[in-house]
Amino acid sequence: MIPCKPITQKLTLLLFSLTVFSGIQTYAQDGQTLFQSKCAACHNVFKDLTGPALGGLETRGPWADRQELYKWVRNPEGYMKADEYTQGLKAKYNSIMTAFPALKDEEIDAIVTYIDTEFKKPKDEGQKTNGETATSSNQNAVIFGVISLILAIIALILMQVNSNLKKMSDDAEGVMRPEPVPFYRNKVYIAMLAIVFFVVGGYYVTKGAIGLQRQTDYQPEQPIYYSHKVHAGINQINCLYCHGNAWESKHAAIPSVNVCMNCHKAINEYTKGPKLYKENGEEVNGTAEIQKLYAYAGFDPKNANAWDPSKAKPIEWVKIHNLPDHVYFNHSQHVRAGKVQCQTCHGEITAMDEVKQFSELSMGWCVNCHRETKVDFNYDGKKGNKFYSIYEKFHNDIKSGKMDSVTVKDIGGLECQKCHY
């Protein structure tokens, strides 16, 4: 009971600092979201893509004056007429920026703040990997197995020794006993073995049957070696830039060829990134893979202006995540309404070259998450989803302290017809 007080104090302090920082966080978060939804298609903080790298933009051109930046973002074409710097940009990148007339001053500010923070961050951050803890638990299991096996053999030997000693003592005392049965014909042993076999076998059969058609770690070879690590990891392209459908619809959908070509019209070789390897260790030529894309798109990099997107052929990707037909799953429900990160179900996708299935996509896995995940309750005009305002009872319970949060389960997220209809 004694250490109670200091802990509470620490907690209060922690909570306080968290609230303060989270306030700032939300602001920067807005900048990130905006950047990713409006800018990321053409700009990166560090690298030139379709448009110039945005890191340190305030040091260039007229952008030190925020008012000029506002004008430019809302109407690039109009702005350009009287500005030499931007005319130069057009000449360099061969395109004019899309206009965003609807962006507010604060929103542009938020984007600039975000770019600034990103630009000034130490570069190695966020590239840590944590894949080593898993192996150690595996080793433990092997050690335990070996120890149990040794112990079992010792027990068997001791039992044999015991029975031999008993026989010898019986012989010495002159007690007549029947010839002992060898252990492999001993009915007790056989019965015990059968039971163990039945239990263990039954366990594995059941487990195997339940796991039928589950494809965790499924990593098929795709028609084009497409590295999520290069795109989403190193180049930090937002997931929703290519899989924007996940925001709108039940399917996340694989991007169409024209989406790939948005960037790859300009990026026609793979030189700067790390070397790419297939699962079998074979090295992959990134530039050759981009050529494969060009073959599908019908694009000739030497004659880029003659490209006709309508002649493109679709790419037959191998589908990795398969749900049974009797399951209804909606990406937009999870990504947009539920604000679940893609990585929660798809794993550390930014570290995967070729994608493999991370989660087992089983019902137990779904249900566990529904039990724990909290709903975006408590709508107050800024946070929370207004839809949930209808659940008055839960809101009252939260107010009165009966419950601290509402999980998906509480609003019926475990019911059959949430997913099966």
Partner 1 sequence: MSAAADLGYMSQKKYWQSFAEVNDPENFQKKTQDEFREELPFEDVDSKGLLDAKAPRRDFLKYLGFSTAAATLAASCKTPVRKAVPFANKPENIIPGEAKYYATTYVQDGDVIPVLAKVRDGRPIKIEGNDMAAYTHGGTTARAQASVLDLYDTHRNRFPTRKVGDKHEESTYEFLDKTIGEALAGLGGKPVVLLSSTIVSPSTKDIIAKFPNLKHVQYDAVSYSGMLLANEASGFGRKIPSYNFGEAKVIVSLGADFLGTWLNSVENADGYTKGRKINEKNVEMSKHYQFESYLSTTGASADERFTHKPSETSAVALALLAALDGSVTAPAIADAKLKAGITKVAADLKANSVKALVVSGSNDVNVQVLVNAINNAVGAYGSTIDWSRPVNYRQGIDKDMADLVTEMEAGGVGALFIYGANPAYNYHDAPKFIAALAKVKVSVSFNERMDETTELCAYNLPTHHYLESWGDAEPKAGISSFIQPTIYPLFKTRPYQTSLLKWSGNNTDYDTYLKTYWAGILGSEDAYTKALQDGIVETPAAASAVAFNAGAVAGAASATAAKKGGKTEVVLYQKTSIGTGTGATNPWLQELPDPISKATWDNYAMISMAKANELGVKLDMDYEYYPQKPVFEFAVGNDKVELPVLVIPGMNADTVAIAVGYGRGEKLGKTAAGVGQNVYPFSSFNGTTVDYFADITITDKNRKHKIAQTQIHNSYEDRKEVIRETTLATFKKDPNVIPDYRQKLVDDYAKKTSDFHKEATLYPDPATRHNEIKWGMSVDMNACYGCGACIVACNAENNVPVVGKREVLRYHDMHWLRIDRYFVSGENPDDLKGVVFQPMMCQHCDNAPCENVCPVAATNHSTEGINQMAYNRCIGTRYCANNCPFKVRRFNWADYTGADSFANNQDQQLVGKLDDVIFQMNDELTRMVLNPDVTVRSRGVMEKCSFCVQRTQAAKLTAKKENRMLADGDVKTACQQACSAGAIVFGNAHDKESKVSKVREDNKQRSYYVLEQLHVLPNVTYLAKVRNTDEIIEEKGHHGGNEKHDAAVPAAEKKEEAQH
Give the nearer residue to partner 1 in terms of CB position, either 74 or 418: 418
Which listed residue (307, 385, 397, 398) binds partner 1 by CB under 8 A?
385
Q: Decide: is 333 part of the binding site for partner 1 (CB under 8 A).
A: yes
Q: Does 313 bind partner 1 (CB under 8 A)?
A: yes
Nearer to partner 1, 162 or 256 (CB): 256
Q: Which is nearer to partner 1, 55 or 255 (CB)?
A: 255
Instruction: Answer for the pair 227, 260: CB distance below 8 angstroms, yes or no.
Output: no
Give the number of residues written for the chain.
421
Report the nearest approach of partner 1 to the CB of residue 383 (Å). Answer: 11
Residue for token pair 């690590």? 229
Site string (170-209) toward partner 1, x via CB under 8 A: ---------------------------------------x
Long-range contacts of 217-223 (CB under 8 A, 24+ apart): 217/356, 217/357, 218/320, 218/356, 218/357, 219/279, 219/320, 219/354, 219/355, 219/356, 219/357, 220/318, 220/320, 221/278, 221/318, 221/354, 222/317, 222/318, 222/354, 223/292, 223/315, 223/316, 223/317, 223/318
Q: Which helix (H) or strand (E) holds 32?
A: helix 4-34
Helix (H/G/I), strand (E/B), else coil: 276 = strand
How far apart are CB 246 and partner 1 at their closest, in Å? 10
Q: Is 418 in the site for partner 1 (CB under 8 A)?
A: yes
Q: Per CB under 8 A, does 359 bind partner 1?
A: no
Q: Which residue in 74, 391, 397, 398 binds partner 1 (CB under 8 A)?
A: 391
Positions in 100-139 near partner 1 (CB under 8 A): none
The window from 35-43, 83-91, 154-162, 249-257 that contacts partner 1 (CB under 8 A) reads 249-257
Judged on CB neighbours under 10 Å (0-12, 13-18, 19+), 291 is: middle
- Can you tell me which residue has the tokens 């305002």? 389
Of these, 28, 234, 259, 340, which contacts partner 1 (CB under 8 A)? 259
Q: For tokens 């966020």, what's the residue?
A: 126
Does 249 help bind partner 1 (rule: CB under 8 A)? Answer: yes
- Binding residue (CB under 8 A) for partner 1 from 137, 390, 400, 404: 390
Per CB under 8 A, does 33 bind partner 1? no
45 scored as a contact of partner 1 (CB under 8 A): no
H/E stretch holding 277: strand 276-277
Dihedral sign (CA 261, 267, 269, 272): negative
Q: Give the distance between the most distant pair of CA atoms in the chain.
A: 120
For partner 1, the binding residue among 62, 255, 301, 347 (CB under 8 A) is 255
Per-position DSSP letters for 45-81, written without gaps between them: SSS-SSS---TTGGGSTTTTSHHHHHHHHH-HHHHHT
Q: What residue type is assigned to position 298 of the chain?
A: G
Binding of residue 351 to partner 1 (CB under 8 A): no
| Residue range at the interface with partner 1 (CB under 8 A); choices 75-83, 179-187, 227-235, 330-338 | 330-338
In the complex, the smallest distance separating the C-beta of residue 212 from partner 1, rounded to whole angstroms, is 5
For partner 1, the binding residues (CB under 8 A) are: 209, 212-213, 215, 220, 245, 248-251, 253-259, 296, 309-310, 312-319, 322, 324-326, 328, 330, 332-333, 336-337, 385-387, 389-394, 411-412, 415-418, 420-421
